Structure formats: structure tokens, C-alpha cells
Chain A
Amino acid sequence: MLRLFKKERMWRTGDLKPRYDVVIVGAGVHGLATAYYLGSRHGIRSVALLEKGYLGSGNSGRNTAIIRSNYRTPEGIPFYQASVKLYEELSRELGWNMLFSQCGHLTLAHTDSAVNGLRVRAENNQVLGVDSRMIFRDEIRRLVPAMDLSNRPRFPVLAALYHPPGGIIRHDAVVWGYARACDRMDIDIHTFTEVTGMRVEKGKVRSVLTNRGEVAAGSVVNATAGWASIVSKMARLPLQIVSHPLQACVTEPLKPFLDKVIVSATLHVYVNQTDKGELVIGAEIDPYQSYSMKGTLPTLEQMATYTLELFPQLHGLRVLRQWAGVCDMTPDFAPIIGVAPEVENFYMDVGWGTYGFKTAPIAGKCVAELIATGKTPNLIAPFSPARFTTGQLVGEKAAAAVST
């Protein structure tokens, strides 16, 4: 209770030190989680996070914060599941409430083929121990009484994949919680510090150059999401990534009427109502490559159109803000985690596309382990950068369309 009234600084600011054991580029949730697990699990505390903007200014502050593990592939499911488990304990572990609401997550199917696609996920989830099942109109109606389940919509809802542990988290709170915990371990967080280049010698990054000077580094982590290709190029490593904008918007608050996360791939939209009462609506990625973080009218109109297909009664509800983030898309919709043989101390935790918020705890934990021990944890082995040369792609793209 007392803590409620104590005014502690969440994280401090200070000068860049000349050298760190680990320099992490990008203080989004992935960079922060990596730093946190390096410090808390491996005692590596000579760590700096370099962030070009304010804390959480990248996708970690722009996403719709859906957390779930009902993925499709045998590689993906255990990985996402491990992340959900970490999230379930994270508020307590960090002493900071991230408002993780496991309210339940429904992926809707409006066509035969979508029903089959969801069934594959339900089956694989069940075999691998994830709470997930197919439900049909009657049960959907019970769970989401506000949704239009009649035959009026052009593509009526036929079935849904129901994932009770899925839900929503307060994304900024996760960023702040990790940052605070890093700060308490004397890990340095340097905001407004942009990495502009790297000194690479004999297959190693020796130092990173920033707008505030040069910093020597034992290891360097690239955790820059939409900017990952640019930062990797500094280490002379081209990435199999294209960057697309992803947009979302938020409406005025209403009294609670929807307490499930609703996703529809056919309608390219997902919707949930926050604890404050606002509706958060997300779109699929824009069909063109761009680094633009400006919202566009056609995408906003699309989000509105499809939301009204599901909830026609909301036609008078007002949209307050729309925004965009830049997503790093890989060819197989799976991340790139690990080291490339060409530069032995340059670690990548990128390719998170539209779905990487939910994975930060487990990815951070695994990357930290990889840096500390030099051994690749099994959970991330399928996501190694080498797969693009061996052709062993991960099949998560098959389930993608709207994939947050």
C-alpha cells in the first residue's frame, strides 16, 4: 500500500560508458526483455540499451497487445506457449502490474476453408497441450452476445477457434516494467541514442557508433523490429526481411460489452475492448513496403467497414486515433533469432512482424541464454538465420493473414 504513494524513478538516465559487455540496439520489449534476463538469470549486468527515440517508441508502443499461443506449427506452438507462461507470472515477478487480462481469444471463420485452417490449429494445439478448440454459433453467441451472428453479413460467421488463455496486456506497462527491473540491476537505458554504424573487424563487431559517441561492445544484439534490416546492414549482414506498415485505431470509450478478443482473417480485422472501454481495432499489413508510420484513410475505412460487419450497432462510435508501425516480415512469418556465422558476436532477435509482442519474454530469455552460454536453446533452434540457406522454413505463414 505504501508503495502506492512512493515516488520512485522508474529508470534513470546517465552518460554512455565507453564499453559494455552487451550492447542492445533497440529498447523495445524485445531488447528490454533480453537485458532483463541477461541480468536476472545470468548475472550479466554490463549491459546497455540504446534507443533512438523515447522508451517504447517503436512497435512496442504501437501494437494491439494480443497475447496467445494457439499457433499452427509444432515449432511455433511450444515457443508461444512458453511465452504466455512467462507473461502469466511477469507482473508478480517484476512487482509491476501489466494488466494481463486472459479474457479469451476467438478467431472467426467465415468460409469452409477458414474452418479447416482453424481446425488444423485446434488439433495441433490440443496435441501439444494448448487450451484451444473449435466452437460454433451457439457457443460463440454465448461468449460474444454483442456480435452479429445472423446471416445478414456478406460472410456470416460459421465457426471460431476459441483459446481461453489468450488475451490482452497493457503494452506500455510491459515496457516500463522491464525497464524498471533493468534499472534496478544497474543496466543502462539510453534513450535518444541512435546507432548510426558499427565497427566490424575480423568477423566481430568491435563497437557501435551513435549520435552520442562510440561504445565498445563485447556482443551486440539487434532488436530493432521494423528497422532491423538497416541495423543489420551496419554489421554487413543482409536480412531476408521486408518492412510493411501495420495500422490500428482506437475509438471512444463505451461501457463494457465485449470481453473477448475477436479476430477475423477473412475480414482482415481484429477487435477488442480495453479496460477503459475503448475499442481497439487492428488491420492486416498494408500491401506495400514502406517505413511510413502515418495512418492512411483507405486502411482506416477498411477497419471500420469490417468492424461494422461484426458489430453493426456501433456505426455511431467515433474513432479517436489511428496509427501505424513498421513490421519486419520474413518469408515464412517466423522470426529470425540467433547468430549468423559471418559475424560471431552479432545476435539477431528480429523478424517479429505483426506478432512479436507476445513473444518478448521467451525470446528475451532464450537470446540471453544464447549470449551467456553460447548454446542455442531448443525453443529457438527452428528460427535460426541459417534456415534461409537450407530451405527449412517454418510453416507459420500458412495460418497467417491477420496474424497478431
Chain B
Amino acid sequence: MSVDERSETIRFEFCGKPVEARAGDTVASALYRSGQRIFTRSFKYHRPRGLLCLSGKCPNCLMNVDGVPNVRACITPARAGMRVRHQNAYPSLENDWLAIAQRFDWLMPVGWYYKTMTYPSAWHAAEPYIRKIAGLGEPPPAGSEGGEYEHNYRHAEAAIIGGGPAGLQTAVELGSRGEQVMLIDDQPALGGHLRYSRNSGVAAAELIADLIGKVQKLSNVEVLQGCYCFGLYEGNLLGIVEPNPHPNAAERLIHLRTRRVVIATGAYEAPLLFRNNDLVGIMLSTAAQRLIRLHGVAHRVPDAGLLSQAGARLEWDGGKGAFVSVDLPSHVAAVGDVTGASFIAASRLPPEQVMASKRAFVCLCTDVSSKDLQDAIAEGFDHIETLKRYTTATMGPCQGRMCQLSAISVCAHETQRSMGATGTTTSRPPNPSVTLGALAGARHHPTRRTPMHYEHDALGAVWMDMGEWKRPRFYKTQTNSEEKACVEEEYRAVRERVGLIDVSTLGKLDFKGRDCGKLLDKVYAGRLSDLRPDRVRYAVLCDEAGIMLDDGTVSRLADDQYFITTTTGNLEFVEQWLEWWLVGTGWDVHITNMTGGVAAVNLAGPKARDVLAKLTSCGLDTKAFPYMACRRAEVAGVQALLMRIGFVGETGWEIHFPAEAGAYLWRTLLDAGREFDIRPFAVEAQRLLRLEKKHVIVGVDTDALTNPFEAGMGWVSKLDKEDFIGRAALRRLSGEELKQILAGFIMNEEALPEDGAAILVNGRLAGRVTSARYSPVNRKAVGLAWVPAELARPGAEIDVRVGGRLARAHITQQAFYDPEGARLRM
């Protein structure tokens, strides 16, 4: 695109003043026409800098556009009403107070900050000031958002990066062979350097027009115009950014997988090294051609970033005066100027002319001069990688594009090595740089809600996150909104009458096939193959080191069918773990994740049976439906799986049923329970109820190193079983003396420790509380804690930290509530 002289003028704002622009203008070209010559102030010395490359490759025109810092003004289209501000200069670009830094550049030899302020106090005093001066653009204020981004995923047989003559030629060749081709070009129009090169005449224009015409005719060649490729990743994955794909998106990140990649990124020019080479008005020759047809102040550099990312080696070619890529991987090819094909050595400054001046800038981005590099090399930073890290040359916003070659030639000259022996630094993606927004794409952080979610909402649920799920923490009531009181009411309902909790977030896996028992025996620590149909067993999953990973219930529905629950957070892991161990066995097992399709509730309390009996014909008395049994039956007309288990320590049923009946059955159960004064209860009450029973929650009371023996659950592993995951470790652990044990404790006094509180014995750190709650039955706080094994005996005294103070507690052996478990079996 070129500026359209006849088009209407638009206006945008630059530092509060209006600037006129025409269609086709960039922010920089419009500012230049308006008389602006200084576009930035440099990083360290605040030297004035003007337009240099006009292709978005150098750091000289970074500005704040509509609140976004560090925007390349030279490739940003001017839009009406946009607000452009300068950065890193005060009060103005023309008159920047910090330009005084230039006068003191002699005080800042390379690495000066490493050699001074070695006393901690001196550094602590100086650092805040250094921070204040550093940095470029202003960060947008907290709370400001804006900018929608999106991702998409594409495939092609071949991708060609670069729409110059070489890229176009390749596109025509591959396209004519019928290959599915994508041509990616970052310029506003195809043609590459022939669009503006001084050598291009009528013939070039015709050539380009011809190639473009051919490409357009090939329906199997798709052109992504104005898009740039920033990375060539493993497996031929290309990261491509498309700016403004539509009015509602700032950028789109295209993930392109291809069989082959052809790099035709051409060459660009980088500044030569001489005193005051950074002065405003010195432009790269191509830039000059683009704008005012100046010439002669740059060397050409193949734009080979993607090639080296792909694993090509860069080798110095003296004849061409350029680093050329060799040893390309088989799926990557290079064509055109990026290969250095058309280069002649004359464009490179001979090393003898490298001059040492604090004002001959190698790195414009970070204000590193040739003198700085020389000094650094004299200090021993003579490898190009250490030189880079010590001086910061090549580490600025242009990612070394403007300075890498100069830095190498200075290094080669000073160390009297060849350019080739000096070598380049590792090229890393992204190159060019990419915004965090494009990388992140649309904000997509899914929330999982159970089928009863809106029922809970209506009942006054206060929510908490559990993995991706939302779960009620407790329910506010009409009379009470305070957590402690609400939880206690819910608790009492379950202990004294009946309560209902939504446990749909449990992971649910259906196992079908002849060999399910084999797989479960292999993976779970317990024995499950001998479980009788219609029975439920508690099971624990350990890893090879005998560490507890998850727990849940296993119900046998038929000879060849099991139903397994996992903890809310571990479902994905458990499913993968089971599938992993199934691979290669040849066993007949089909695992289906039922979690989303099955809702579940737990109805518990002395009146649970009465409520349920109103809705089902299934026999519920202890003989017909004993503890740890399961049955399939209809509840209020809904096909359900009932399990008689008792996490909360009361008679109760866990009822699993199709998710679409979730809200209906929830309401129906509450209605049926109304005469018994039923209450919905939530996570906090459940935690208290189970804690009184000393039921362990894997992942809360245990951690990433807990084995079943120390958790007091050695019985879950059947060591006499055939080999299973973790058996060797568990067998060894079973014979070892335990160091620490998960034990129950009751506070001796009123204090309520927080979860995580430290436990001290004789003033020394000895353990920690995993869960502690006020127990209405005990009228004291009770809890579970890790304590040294020798203290894990009833009556032993420990000190628990409560609010920074120590409070006494004693260890108990039994559950805090109904230790015999009589109520469960009633």
C-alpha cells in the first residue's frame, strides 16, 4: 500500500497535538510529514533517535499508542482518533532532561554496576533510582483491559514465509504441482524488496505482477497478507500473527502445521559502525528508498532467524560477507536472499575499520558502543555469548537484528578470530516479538457447574472453587449469613435429622469387560477382583513408591462391570493412570468417564432412610441393603445407583443418577425430606462431619509423600496380592519403623488452630495440623495432625501454634464421634 494523495485526511493525536494523515500512512510517516524528526530517546543515554528502518525491525520509533507501550510507529497504520504518545523522555522528545546522561557516559563504562556498589547498603540505596531511570514505555494502568485476541489452527502441505520474488516463485512452483500451500507475508502487499528497491525498474514490476497474477490464479495457494511468522517450532509448527483479523480482535495467532517449510524471508539492512551512527536523520538505505531515497549507510543481513530456530547452522561466508545457513533439516528449505545468494562482500565493513568510540553504537536498543564491546572483551568476555550477556548488546527490543553483525565483527576483530570462528548467538523464538495477548488468545478458563448449580444458588450457596468446579461452601439462610453458624446448623441437621449434599463433582468411571478385576487389582492397592456384585469397597491408589495418589469407592455392578469414584481434583489423572497401565496388557477393559453425565448426592442422617423410602421401592433396611452394599433402583422415577456408604458417619446413601435429572431429583429429595426438617449441607459441614469420624481426605490430610502406613491406613493395601503398582515399596514400608504418623488430637483448651498450624514438641518443630475444626460433640477443637511416631499414642501431649501462641492438645486414638461406627450401620 502506498499513501493515497487523493484520499481524505484523517486526524490522530500526538502528545496532545493533532496530526494529519492519509489513507496508507503509518503513524511514523504521518508524523514525519508533520515535521517530527526525533521519535524516541535511547535507553541509557537518552540520545535523540529518528526513523531508521521503517520496517518495524529497529527500536527507533517505539511509541505509546492508545495506552499500549512500545508500539512500532513505522508499521502501525494511522487511524482516525488514535492517541499517540512518546515514551522514555521528559518533558518532551526534543527537550529531554535525562539527556544529561550522555555527558556522563564516561562514568558508565561497560559493566560499571558490577564493579561498584558492592556493599549491600550501597546497592540497596541505589537500586530504586536505577530502576526508575530504566525501562521504556509506561505500563498501562492496573485494571485497564482491552484488546481481544484469538487463536486458530491450520494445516497445509507447505508453508512459504516471505512474499518477495523468491517466495512467490516457490509458491507458483509448488502450487502448480497441486500442493496445498500457504504463503505468509508480513508486508501490506506482495513483492518483497522489489516493491521499493532502487534497482527495480519496469522489468521488476512486470515480473512481480506476473508472479502475483499466477499466485492469485492458483486456488490451492492461500496468501496470508500482513501476517508475520515469529517461530518455527518442533514438529513444523509455525506461530503466525495476523493483526486486526476483524474489527473485534486486535490480533489472531495462527498455529500452522505443515509438512514442509520454505523460508524466503530475504535480507534486511543493519546500520554500519561509525561515530554518531545513531544520529537522527541517518536512515538505512532501504528505509531511505522507501521514504527519501538516501543511500549507503548499512550492511545487508539475511533474515535467517527462522532458519536457525529450525536447527540450521550459521556459517560465515567471506565471499558473500554474510552468515549463511547450512545443514538445514530435511523438512525446511531456504530460497532467495535469505540464503545470501545475491550478496557481494562489499556491503560489509572491513574489521580494520572497527573503531573504538563510546559514540559508535553497536546496539541501538541498549546503547552499547564499540568501545564498550572492546572493554568487555579485554576483561575476558570474549565469547560472543558471554559478550552479549555482559554488555547486553543484542538483547534489546529489536532482538539483535540491528546489531548482531556489528557485535560479531567487533568481537572477531578484537580477538583476532575470523567471523566464522566468532560465530553467532543462539537464535530463540519468538522472532519478531509477539504480544502476551496474542499468545494467550481468548480468555478461556472454563468453569464446571453441577446440574444442581442453580438450585444451590437459589438456596443461598456461598461458592468455592475446587479445581474447575464450583461447589457450595455453605448455605446462607434467611436468618443467618455468618459461616460458622450456618455450618453448625447444617452439621446438626445431618447428625440429628437428615441432610443432602451435592457430590456430583466426584470423578466417576465406568469399567466394563472381562478383565476389569485384573486391572483394578494391578493398579489399586487393595483387592477388588473378589468384590461380590452389589458390594462397595473403599480403595486407595498408590504410585510405585507407595505414595497415596487418590482414593475412592469401587462398586461392583456385575461380573464384568465396576463403577469407580475418584476425588474431585484427581479424575483426569486417575483416568490417565488407569489407561496407561492398561496399555499393552491386551485385557478386555473399557473405561468410560461418566463424570459429566452423572449427578450424585449423598443423603445422610438418622432420617435418611425415611426420606428415601418415600421415593423408592428398593428395600432399605439393613438386611436388604447393608452397609457397603450397592443397588440399582428407581428413585422418584429416575434410574439410579445407590451405595450405602458413610463418609459423614451417619446412615446414608450416595445416589448416582443421570445428570439431566439433577435438579429434579435434588428438589424431589428436599421436598420428601421437608417433614423431617431436611437441610442441604455443603463442603464445610461435610469436612467437619468427616473430621469427627477421622476420615482422611487424600490431598488435604496427606501430601505428595504420604504412604498408607503413616496415614494409619495400612489396611488398604493387600500385600499378599499378586504384583501391583507400589507393592515392592509398600512391602518395604510395612516392615519399617514409621517416622511420623497422622494422628487425631483434641485441644485441651478453647483455642481453634488453623489448618496448617505448626506442632511443637519441647519447643521444636515436630509436625503440622492438616485439618482442625470446632467439634460440637466434643465441645473443643479436634483435628488431624502429623506428629512424630513416638508421640502417636493416646494421651501424649503436643503444642499447637494458634495465632503465634502455643496451645496444648492431646492425641486420641479413636474417632471423635461414634468410634464403633454403630450409626453407620443402623
Report the stretch among B25-33, B188-196, B232-240, B717-725 that lies at the interface. B232-240
Q: Does A110 contact B (CB under 8 A)?
A: yes
Partner of A97, one of B70, B107, B123, B389: B123
CB distance from B81 to the nearest CB of A (A): 18
Partner of A301, one of B123, B440, B466: B440
CB distance from A268 to the nearest CB of B (A): 13
> Known contacts being A112-B464, A116-B755, A119-B754, is A315 close to B147, with CB within 8 Å?
yes
Q: Does A392 contact B (CB under 8 A)?
A: yes
Which A306-343 residues have C-beta < 8 A from chain B?
A: 307-309, 311-323, 331-332
Residue-wise, chain A 282-324 has the 8 Å CB interface mask toward B (1 for contact) of: 0000000000101111001101110111011111111111110
State the interface size on chain B (CB cutoff 8 A): 100
Q: Does A400 contact B (CB under 8 A)?
A: yes
| C-alpha gap A264/B408 in the complex (Å) | 40
Q: Does A226 contact B (CB under 8 A)?
A: no
Q: Which residue of A lies closest to B377 (CB)?
A: A7
Partner of A318, one of B109, B239, B397, B465: B397
Report the stretch among B110-118, B296-304, B614-622, B652-660 that lies at the interface. B110-118
Residue-wise, chain B 36-70 has the 8 Å CB interface mask toward A (1 for contact) of: 00000001000000000000000000000001111
CB distance from B595 to the nearest CB of A (A): 19
Q: Which residue of B lies closest to A77 (CB)?
A: B765
Q: Is the Cβ of B69 less than 8 Å from the Cβ of A316? A: yes
Q: Is the Cβ of A252 less than 8 Å from the Cβ of B136? A: yes
Q: Is the Cβ of B758 less than 8 Å from the Cβ of A172? A: no
| C-alpha gap A400/B704 in the complex (Å) | 9
Q: Is the Cβ of B123 less than 8 Å from the Cβ of A113? A: no
Q: Is the Cβ of B71 less than 8 Å from the Cβ of A323? A: no
Partner of A54, one of B386, B755, B757: B386
Q: Is the Cβ of A254 less than 8 Å from the Cβ of B109? A: no
Q: Is the Cβ of B465 less than 8 Å from the Cβ of A111? A: yes
Q: Does A148 contact B (CB under 8 A)?
A: yes
CB distance from B714 to the nearest CB of A (A): 15
Residues of B within 8 A of A136 (CB): none
CB distance from A128 to the nearest CB of B (A): 6
Q: Is the Cβ of A254 less than 8 Å from the Cβ of B135? A: yes
Q: Is the Cβ of A146 less than 8 Å from the Cβ of B378? A: no
Partner of B439, one of A146, A296, A319: A319
| C-alpha gap A10/B754 in the complex (Å) | 53
Q: Is the Cβ of A316 less than 8 Å from the Cβ of B71? A: yes
| C-alpha gap A128/B766 in the complex (Å) | 11
Q: Does A164 contact B (CB under 8 A)?
A: no
State the interface size on chain A (CB cutoff 8 A): 104
Partner of B447, one of A119, A124, A154, A313: A154
Q: Does B245 contact A (CB under 8 A)?
A: no
Which B122-157 residues have C-beta < 8 A from chain A?
A: 123-124, 127, 130-132, 134-147, 149
Partner of B434, one of A292, A318, A391: A318
> Known contacts being A154-B447, A172-B389, A316-B140, is A119 close to B757, with CB within 8 Å?
yes
Q: Does B538 contact A (CB under 8 A)?
A: no
| C-alpha gap A124/B436 in the complex (Å) | 37
Q: Does B458 contact A (CB under 8 A)?
A: no
Q: Is the Cβ of B397 less than 8 Å from the Cβ of A254? A: no
CB distance from A189 to the nearest CB of B (A): 10
| C-alpha gap A304/B241 in the complex (Å) | 15
Q: Does B545 contact A (CB under 8 A)?
A: yes
Q: Which residue of B lies closest to A389 (CB)?
A: B732
> Known contacts being A119-B754, A252-B397, is A316 close to B435, with CB within 8 Å?
yes
Report the stretch among A29-37, A255-263, A344-352, A371-379 that lies at the interface. A255-263
Residue-wise, chain B 364-401 has the 8 Å CB interface mask toward A (1 for contact) of: 00000000000100111101011001101001010100
Which A137-180 residues have C-beta < 8 A from chain B?
A: 145-148, 150, 153-155, 170, 172-173, 176-177
| C-alpha gap A239/B545 in the complex (Å) | 16
Q: Which residue of A lies closest to B398 (CB)?
A: A320
Q: Is the Cβ of B385 less than 8 Å from the Cβ of A9? A: no
Which B699-757 residues have C-beta < 8 A from chain A?
A: 699-700, 703-705, 729, 732-733, 736, 739, 754-757
Q: Does B441 contact A (CB under 8 A)?
A: yes
Residues of B within 8 A of A177 (CB): 114
Q: Does A202 contact B (CB under 8 A)?
A: no
Partner of B142, one of A91, A147, A316, A391: A147
Residues of B within 8 A of A400 (CB): 704
Q: Does B584 contact A (CB under 8 A)?
A: no
Q: Does A199 contact B (CB under 8 A)?
A: no
Q: Is the Cβ of B138 less than 8 Å from the Cβ of A320? A: no
Q: Does B119 contact A (CB under 8 A)?
A: yes
Q: Does B768 contact A (CB under 8 A)?
A: yes
Partner of A277, one of B71, B136, B383, B429: B136
Besides A95-B118, A313-B145, A331-B545, 16 more A-B contacts (Cβ < 8 Å) are: A7-B379, A9-B378, A55-B386, A92-B118, A102-B124, A124-B768, A148-B143, A253-B43, A255-B137, A275-B131, A277-B131, A303-B439, A312-B145, A313-B139, A315-B435, A392-B739
Residues of B within 8 A of A (CB): 43, 67-71, 88, 107, 109, 112-120, 123-124, 127, 130-132, 134-147, 149, 231, 233-234, 237, 239, 250, 253, 255, 375, 378-381, 383, 385-386, 389-390, 392, 395, 397, 399, 428-430, 433-437, 439-441, 443, 445, 447, 464-466, 545, 699-700, 703-705, 729, 732-733, 736, 739, 754-758, 760, 765, 768, 770, 801, 804
Q: List 25 A-B contacts (CB under 8 A).
A: A4-B116, A7-B375, A7-B378, A9-B380, A54-B385, A88-B120, A91-B118, A91-B123, A92-B120, A97-B114, A97-B116, A101-B127, A112-B464, A146-B139, A252-B69, A254-B135, A276-B134, A301-B439, A305-B440, A313-B142, A316-B140, A316-B250, A318-B70, A323-B428, A397-B704
- 10 nearest CB pairs, A to B: A277-B135, A119-B756, A315-B437, A154-B445, A304-B439, A316-B68, A123-B758, A398-B703, A318-B433, A255-B135
